[in-house]
Amino acid sequence: MSQNDRRFDPHAHRTLTDYTRWERWNPPALLARLGIRPGQSVLDLGCGPGFWTLPLAEIVGPAGKAWALDVSQEMLKALAKRDPPPQVRWLRSELPRIDLPDASVDWIWSAFVAHEVEPLEGLMAEMRRVLLPAGRIGLLDWRPDAIHANGPPRHHRLEPEVVRRALLARGFRLLPSDWQDADAYLLLAEMETG
């Protein structure tokens, strides 16, 4: 199976910004739990049409940067049509490669993307490379044992423990999270320092 078989179809990008999805995930409320601050630089991996990017841009404000990375030019065009603020920067890149300099972002947000990327270890290495010292990751993905049928096929999904082990193997420290959901899991991690 190729990595492309796991990807969300970019022609269906309108479903990623519909009202029911916004109500379901409430990006401003979920992202507010992370502790991202104004003026920071964040990277939205697999940004799609900006469902998470625009709320991230709101949090970091005009003094920050919200990098919107996607492999699909169609997704990036859909984001551009939503009139993002100037702190949103576009980046087309084929994950696991992240075309940013070493130690260039404070936060990486990855929503429903990790299960699409192979090898997972390559993604973890790239995230570590582009994070600043003490940089953090928020990783949201589908549970294989989800209650509802939304999301990718269950055989494409990654167990949370698989992702935890991949983070630990790359020198990240897992952070506590009290967020719970029947269909998805949220992992928080930071760069080990010292």
Hey, where are the domains in the chain? 3-191
pTM for this structure?
0.89
Residue 12's SS3 state is helix
Largest CA distance in the chain: 45
What is the model's pLDDT at position 1? Answer: 42
Distance, CA of 48 to CA of 53 (rounded, Å):
9
Q: What are phi and psi of 92, to 5 degrees?
A: -95, 125
What is the model's pLDDT at position 124? Answer: 96
Helix (H) or strand (E) holding 152: none
What is the model's pLDDT at position 12? Answer: 52
Query: Any bridge partners for residue 44, and if so which?
Result: 68, 109
Q: What percent of the chain has pLDDT over 90?
A: 75
- The helices-and-strands tally (H runs, E runs) of the chain is 6, 7
What is the model's pLDDT at position 15? Answer: 55
The CATH superfamily assigned to 3-191 is Vaccinia Virus protein VP39 (3.40.50.150)
| Structure-derived torsion over alpha carbons of residues 118, 121, 126, 132, reported in degrees to the nearest 10 | 140
Asked if the model's pLDDT at residue 2 lies above 50, the reply is no
- Residues 87-111 have a mean pLDDT of 96
